[in-house]
Amino acid sequence: MGHTIFGKDVYWMNFAGLMILTIIEVAAVGLDLPNDTTLMILVGIGIPKFIMIAAIFMHLWGDDDSGVLTLTALFPAFFIIVMILFIGLTHPDAATGLPDWCRPGTYN
């Protein structure tokens, strides 16, 4: 792809950004914040991560045909974000209790 961000390879800069955002997500879940606050932080961090992955790794930014690909690939993004947000808002302890209800054998 030959593009750079701040003079560095775009893939390495994207990787560094994704790692920083992941650390913020882990910290948000690890802190004892209200569930709604944690959920909003996770959704707020998830949207830029989605855009970073789609733009760089899926070549939706910077390529010759990226305009058509971007419109096609990002159309369902709105519905995915709404779905994740409503699941998080309607499930009790969705943000803090996620590991509990994902593990087999802990269903009540």
* Coil/strand/helix, residue 93: coil
Gap between the Cα atoms of 34 and 55, Å rounded: 32
pLDDT for position 101: 52
Gap between the Cα atoms of 8 and 26, Å rounded: 26
- pLDDT tens for the chain, 108 residues: list them: 456 666 677 788 889 999 999 999 998 888 888 878 888 898 899 889 988 888 887 777 666 666 666 677 677 878 888 887 777 777 666 666 655 555 556 555
Whether the full predicted model's pTM is greater than 0.85, yes or no, is no
pLDDT for position 1: 46
Which residue is listed with tokens 């920083």? 20
Gap between the Cα atoms of 48 and 102, Å rounded: 24
pLDDT for position 107: 55
Which residue is listed with tokens 């994902």? 102
Under a CB-based contact definition with an 8 Å cutoff, are residues 88 and 37 in contact? no
